[in-house]
């Protein structure tokens, strides 16, 4: 271990290192030595590998030799980011005093531990999503769950009944780090950690054994929930905050905005549905194919984060949904207002994160400049929306009482900072000339010092008659007089030689030294005054951080609403009606993502009309590629959009409140996971049946494909019946089992199909949903489209005709192709006719058992050969 190796070393610096490492054993220690961060021992070995650094060693050849690797301090953020991405924590150990002004060893201390869940630097964050640190409090009374984004100061807390439901929430928000602790016995905690690690990712989840309560005081907004639930939620929040504080020992970490969630307030979207619907991530990995991308026209990073949060947690409260829609509507109607607002918002910087960087002491002068620019733009935006005469409009825009724009702070920053402050404090030139009298004076002192030097140079040149004599400065040597080699003879005896260089000699003399010291002193005082002024600004910003957070939240909400209005106008969306009725009616609904990528005007809109008390389950048949999945998904997406408070891609939409969106897609998608697809499918189906309520929206796409035809059909059938009869929820059920269309005997189940037309054996998809079952499966036509050789196609058509003939024959002339099961029995295929030979019956059975859709051409050919053999042999 690095600890023992370093502890053995004697030098005071290495002793400091050993102590710091002992305090933070599980973090990579970045140890500041001058202009570098050095890593020693195991940390050095790890970093050399993870960051492609050269591994050297300190005290080479001596008994206390130790591996070493380093990075320049100004480039450290990039390296830290790479370590975080690989799941490491980094402890930053700084020099706590200016080495130039310190006698003996410089004091050092760990000022920050950066973990994936507590990062605050821009380089370590995604601007458009929250960086959540999650904490779970496992107790006998349930699971407390909290999410803390240190970078924005937002803290959410709530409680859920079980680890499994907590996992559902975590899958939704995708935290960067998860802490697990609580009052359950150690074994139970260990088990929870193991299951979370398996479901999320091993590096993400850490046990956090420390007790949660203690010094963390949280002023919680009023809670309606029972005491116990509040307590465990609070304990989880305290755990997250305490962890973040431990990571920031030298600054004050305080949540800026506490939000108590009632998880029952939000429309639940189970993780499978979230993935299937491609809300924030697409199956292909292309972010442009997500719903978020389709609607996120926000101007600010904060607005974008809010949009994402709203999308993943739509509401169940009709009044709040309508309030959000009202605001969007104002921006739809008042286009000029929207455009002017968005122009201002474009200039609004990431106030939340800037404010946090100030609080953790990470803010650079450039950050302060950005904060100023953001505040100035915020002021303009607020003025724009408050200077409206119509009180009703102001009510909707939430500007009856406009948010505090911190005018004094804005003013101070505007007066204080130069237009483009530097990225490093060291560079100086941060403040405007007339901001501070003392600084001004020190500044002119420095400048006059420089002038005096120029004057001295001229004087010396004249005195010794060397016109090329120079008075110069370098960091290492300070001020000196340089004389070219050819003139050295003329230099007076009294000048002291400092250094010989290739071109000549460097000298000094008392007058120069005195002046140099005066300049140095002035510069030092100048820097000190700058630091003082910066600290005062930081103090003022921190004091206003609560108000800043409130302002930022309001700006994000306007940004979200005006972006949704922009999208609504650009892509012709309509305001949905959301009410307590039992319907889900969509006229001319479109898929918001597919329509964007379809050729202009080529997307075919469709209607959906589900009613809990009436036709609650639509069974949708149609050939592959006809558009069944698209219809299913668009219905769920429109529901989600409506309940998040957005306009929707349709001509009209009325959504009777939905409490949960559940979905399950056909087998093939899960093949990559390596589990038995059928098992996965059945488990997910079981989850749906267990969690759906009458108010849920369920979309099922081709369930039952993961197993043999008969099993699959039987299961799909039973699931549809159960949903329609027992759960009674609104359901769209796409299937390729034609037999299921017989279910429409149930008054709550209605057949629909996505039409296609076969023209001369070619299939033309119309993508139009029509009442009634599909009349053909077009499997052969789709196979042709996919390029199967014509010989195979011809033979397949022949076989198809034979099968269909047999099916009708065998089940009697009066029975249609889609029979109804009698007495609840599935008599899918009657046994072959009596006249058939045993071999023929065997072949017929095998062919009936096939799932042609899932066969490769080669498999089909091989099978044909085999069957032929069976008949002739």
* Closest CB to ligand ADP among residues 690, 759: 759
Nearest to ligand ADP of 617, 626 (CB atom):
626
Residue nearest ligand ADP, CB atom distance: 627
Q: Per-residue x/- mask for ligand ADP, residues 339 to 368, rule CB under 6 A?
A: ------------------------------
Q: How far is the CB of 768 from ligand ADP (least distance, A)?
A: 8
> Near ligand ADP by CB under 6 A, which window of 550-558, 621-629, 670-678, 684-692?
621-629
Residue 628 vs 728, nearer CB to ligand ADP: 628
Residues near 546 by Cβ (< 8 Å), separated by ≥ 6?
256
Q: How far is the CB of 649 from ligand ADP (least distance, A)?
A: 11
CB 43 within 8 A of CB 52: no
| Least distance CB 766 / ligand ADP (angstroms) | 9
Specify the stretch interacting with ligand ADP by CB under 6 A; choose among 143-151, 308-316, 368-376, 619-627. Answer: 619-627
Local structure of residue 12 (DSSP, 8 states): H
Q: With contacts defined by CB under 6 A, how many residues of the chain interact with ligand ADP?
A: 14
CA distance 482 to 478: 12
Among 51, 225, 574, 625, the residue binding ligand ADP under the rule CB under 6 A is: 625
Q: Least Å distance between CB 83 and ligand ADP?
A: 41
Taking CB under 6 A as the criterion, the residue among 131, 159, 624, 844 binding ligand ADP is 624
Q: How far is CA 599 from CA 402, 596, 602, 604, in A?
A: 44, 8, 5, 11
Question: Measured from the CB of residue 574, what is the shortest distance to ligand ADP in angstroms?
Answer: 17
Is the Cβ of residue 81 or residue 622 nearer to ligand ADP in the bound state?
Answer: 622
Closest residue by Cα to residue 154 from 62, 221, 86: 221
Selected from 349, 630, 753, 844, the binder of ligand ADP by CB under 6 A is 630
Cα gap 676→801, rounded to integer Å: 34
**Structure letter (DSSP) for residue 756:** E
Residue 576: CB minimum distance to ligand ADP, A: 19
Options 181, 627, 645, 656; binder of ligand ADP; rule CB under 6 A = 627
What is the side-by-side order of every strand in the sheet holding 56-58? Answer: 56-58, 66-72, 36-40, 28-33, 90-95, 108-114
Cβ nearer to ligand ADP, comparing 372 with 767: 767
Q: Could you tell me which stretch among 628-636, 641-649, 687-695, 779-787 binds ligand ADP (CB under 6 A)?
A: 628-636
Say whether residue 770 binds ligand ADP (CB under 6 A). Answer: no
From the list 573, 742, 546, the residue with the least C-alpha distance to 642 is 573
Q: Is 626 in the site for ligand ADP (CB under 6 A)?
A: yes
Nearer to ligand ADP, 605 or 832 (CB): 605
Q: Measured from the CB of residue 769, what is the shortest distance to ligand ADP in angstroms?
A: 8
Binds ligand ADP by CB under 6 A, chosen from 405, 554, 629, 685: 629
Phi, psi torsion values for 327, nearest 5 degrees: -65, -40
Q: Which is nearer to ligand ADP, 132 or 778 (CB)?
A: 778
What 8-state DSSP symbol labels residue 40? E
- Report DSSP state, residue 854: G
Cβ of residue 724: shortest distance to ligand ADP, in angstroms? Answer: 21
Dump the DSSP string for 43-92: HHHHHHHHHTPPPEEESTTSTT-EEEEEEEGGGHHHHHHHHHHTT--EEE
With respect to ligand ADP, which residue has the nearer C-beta, 625 or 689?
Answer: 625
Contact predicate 117/44, CB 8 Å: no
Instruction: Rule CB under 6 A: say whether 673 interacts with ligand ADP.
Output: no
N residues, the chain: 873
Residue 777 interacts with ligand ADP (CB under 6 A): yes or no:
no
Q: Does residue 307 contact residue 560 with C-beta atoms inside 8 Å? A: yes
Pairing of strands 652-656, 577-579: parallel
CA 7/CA 15 separation, integer angstroms: 6
| CB distance 23 to 34 below 8 Å | no
Question: Nearest distance from residue 815's CB to ligand ADP, in Å?
Answer: 27
Looking at 1-9, 23-31, 560-568, 623-631, which segment touches ligand ADP (CB under 6 A)?
Answer: 623-631
Nearer to ligand ADP, 426 or 602 (CB): 602
Given a contact cutoff of 8 angstroms between Cβ atoms, the answer to whether 749 and 773 are in contact is: no
Euclidean distance between CA atoms 397 and 182, whole angstroms: 42
Q: Which helix (H) or strand (E) holds 325?
A: helix 318-333
Nearer to ligand ADP, 19 or 607 (CB): 607
From 67-75, 297-305, 624-632, 656-664, span contacting ligand ADP (CB under 6 A)? 624-632
Alpha carbon distances (Å) from 512 to 66, 304, 391, 505, 519: 45, 59, 71, 16, 11
> What is d(CA 803, CA 843) in angstroms, rounded to the nearest whole number?
11
φ and ψ of 856, to 5 deg: -85, 155
CB of 663 to ligand ADP, least distance (A): 13
CB of 380 to ligand ADP, least distance (A): 43
Task: Decide if residue 766 touches ligand ADP (CB under 6 A).
Answer: no
Q: What is the DSSP string of 691-735?
A: H--TT-EEEEESTTTTS-HHHHHHHHHHHHHHIIIII--EEEEE-
CA distances from 605 to 288, 524, 649, 769 (A): 22, 71, 9, 9
Answer for which of 767, 784, 832, 860 binds ligand ADP (CB under 6 A) is 767
Candidate segments 92-100, 196-204, 478-486, 626-634, binder of ligand ADP by CB under 6 A: 626-634
Angle at 366 between CA 361 and CA 368, to 5 degrees: 60
Q: Which residues contact 464 (CB under 8 A, 6 or more apart)?
A: 490, 491, 492
Supply φ then ψ for residue 319, to 5 degrees.
-60, -45
Beta carbon nearer to ligand ADP, 601 or 835: 601
Q: Name which of 596 and 819 has its Cβ closer to ligand ADP.
A: 596
Residue 800: CB minimum distance to ligand ADP, A:
20
CA 29 to chain centre: 28
By beta-carbon proximity to ligand ADP, the closer residue of 561 and 648 is 648
Q: Is 628 in the site for ligand ADP (CB under 6 A)?
A: yes
- Least Å distance between CB 778 and ligand ADP? 11
Cβ within 8 Å of residue 719, ≥6 positions away: 685, 689, 700, 703
Between 118 and 629, CB nearer to ligand ADP: 629
Applying the rule CB under 6 A, the residues between 719 and 758 that interact with ligand ADP are: none
What's the CA gap between 53 and 70, in Å, rounded? Answer: 7
665 vs 715, beta carbon nearer ligand ADP: 665
Residue 129 or 777 having the CB closest to ligand ADP: 777
Q: Taking CB under 6 A as the criterion, which residues in 576-605 touch ligand ADP?
A: 594, 598, 602-604
Nearest approach in angstroms of CB 425 to ligand ADP is: 54
| Residues in contact with ligand ADP by the rule CB under 6 A | 594, 598, 602-604, 622, 624-630, 767
């Amino acid at each position: 271990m690095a600890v023992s190796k370093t502890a053995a070393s004697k030098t005071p610096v290495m002793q400091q290192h050993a102590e710091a490492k002992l305090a933070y054993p599980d973090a990579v220690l970045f140890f500041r030595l001058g202009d570098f961060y050095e890593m020693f021992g195991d940390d050095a070995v790890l970093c050399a590998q993870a960051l492609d650094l050269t591994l050297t060693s300190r005290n080479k050849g001596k008994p206390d030799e130790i591996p070493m690797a380093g990075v320049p301090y100004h480039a450290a953020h990039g390296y830290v980011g790479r370590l975080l991405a690989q799941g490491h924590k980094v402890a930053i150990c700084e020099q706590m005093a200016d080495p130039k002004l310190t006698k003996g060893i410089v004091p050092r201390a760990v000022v920050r531990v950066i973990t994936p869940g507590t990062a605050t630097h821009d380089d370590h964050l995604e601007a458009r999503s929250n960086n959540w640190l999650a904490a779970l409090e496992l107790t006998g009374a349930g699971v407390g769950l909290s999410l803390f984004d240190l970078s924005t100061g937002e803290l959410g807390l709530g409680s859920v009944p079980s680890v499994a439901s907590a996992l559902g929430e975590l899958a939704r928000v995708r935290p960067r780090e998860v802490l697990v602790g609580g009052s359950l016995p150690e074994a139970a905690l260990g088990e929870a950690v193991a299951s979370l690690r398996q479901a999320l990712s091993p590096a993400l989840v850490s046990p956090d054994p420390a007790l949660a309560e203690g010094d963390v005081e949280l002023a919680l907004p009023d809670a309606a929930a029972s005491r116990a639930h509040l307590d465990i939620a609070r304990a989880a929040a305290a755990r997250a905050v305490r962890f973040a504080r431990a990571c920031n020992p030298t600054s004050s970490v305080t949540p800026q905005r506490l939000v108590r969630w009632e998880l029952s307030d939000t429309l639940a979207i189970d993780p499978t549905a979230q993935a299937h619907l491609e809300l924030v991530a697409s199956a292909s990995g292309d972010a442009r194919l997500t719903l978020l991308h389709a609607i996120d026209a926000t101007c600010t990073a904060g607005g974008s984060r809010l949009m994402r949060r709203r999308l993943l947690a739509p509401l169940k409260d009709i009044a709040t949904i309508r309030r959000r829609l009202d605001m969007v509507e104002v921006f739809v109607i008042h286009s000029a207002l929207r455009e002017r607002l968005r122009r201002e918002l474009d200039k609004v910087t990431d106030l939340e994160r800037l404010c946090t960087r100030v609080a953790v002491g990470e803010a650079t002068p450039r950050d302060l400049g950005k904060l100023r620019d953001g505040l100035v733009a915020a002021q303009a935006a607020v003025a724009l929306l408050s200077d409206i005469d119509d009180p009703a409009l102001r009510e909707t825009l939430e500007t009856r009482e406009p948010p505090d724009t911190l005018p004094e702070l804005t003013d101070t920053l505007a007066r204080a900072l130069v237009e483009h402050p530097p990225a490093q404090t060291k560079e100086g030139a941060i403040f405007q000339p007339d901001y501070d009298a003392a600084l001004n004076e020190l500044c002119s002192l420095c400048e006059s010092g420089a002038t005096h030097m120029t004057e001295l140079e001229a004087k010396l040149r004249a005195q010794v008659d060397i016109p090329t004599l120079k008075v110069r400065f370098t960091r290492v040597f300070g001020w000196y007089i340089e004389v070219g080699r050819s003139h050295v003879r003329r230099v007076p005896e009294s000048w002291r030689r400092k250094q010989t260089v290739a071109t000549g000699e460097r000298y000094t003399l008392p007058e120069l030294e005195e002046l140099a010291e005066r300049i140095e002193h002035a510069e030092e005082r100048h820097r000190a005054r700058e630091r003082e002024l910066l600290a005062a600004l930081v103090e003022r910003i921190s004091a206003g951080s609560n108000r800043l957070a409130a302002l930022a939240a309001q700006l994000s909400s306007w940004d979200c609403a005006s972006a949704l209005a922009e999208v609504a106008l650009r892509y012709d969306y309509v305001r949905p009606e959301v009410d307590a009725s039992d319907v889900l009616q969509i006229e001319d609904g479109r898929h918001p993502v597919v329509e964007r990528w379809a050729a202009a005007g080529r997307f075919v809109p469709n209607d959906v009309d589900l009613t809990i008390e009436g036709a609650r389950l639509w069974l949708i048949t149609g050939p592959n590629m006809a558009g069944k999945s698209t219809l299913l998904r668009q219905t769920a997406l429109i529901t989600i959009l409506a309940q998040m408070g957005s306009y929707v891609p349709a001509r009209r939409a009325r959504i009777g409140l939905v409490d949960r969106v559940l979905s399950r897609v056909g087998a093939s998608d899960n093949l990559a996971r390596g589990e038995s697809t059928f098992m996965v499918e059945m488990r997910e189906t079981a989850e749906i049946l267990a969690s759906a309520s009458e108010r849920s929206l369920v979309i099922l796409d081709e369930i039952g494909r993961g197993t043999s035809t008969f099993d699959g059909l039987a299961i799909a059938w039973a699931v549809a019946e159960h949903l329609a009869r027992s759960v009674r929820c609104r359901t769209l059920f796409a299937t390729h089992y034609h037999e299921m269309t017989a279910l429409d005997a149930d008054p709550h189940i209605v057949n629909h199909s996505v039409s296609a037309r076969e023209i001369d054996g070619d299939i033309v998809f119309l993508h139009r949903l029509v009442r009634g079952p599909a009349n053909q499966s077009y499997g052969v036509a789709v196979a042709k489209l996919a390029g199967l050789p014509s010989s195979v196609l011809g033979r397949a058509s022949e076989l198809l005709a034979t099968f269909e003939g047999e099916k009708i024959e065998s089940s009697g002339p009066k029975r249609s192709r889609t029979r109804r099961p009698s007495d609840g029995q599935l008599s899918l295929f009657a046994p072959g006719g009596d006249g058939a030979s045993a071999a023929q019956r065997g072949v017929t059975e095998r062919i009936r058992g096939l799932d042609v859709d899932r066969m490769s051409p080669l498999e089909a050919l091989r099978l044909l050969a085999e069957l032929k053999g069976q008949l002739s042999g």
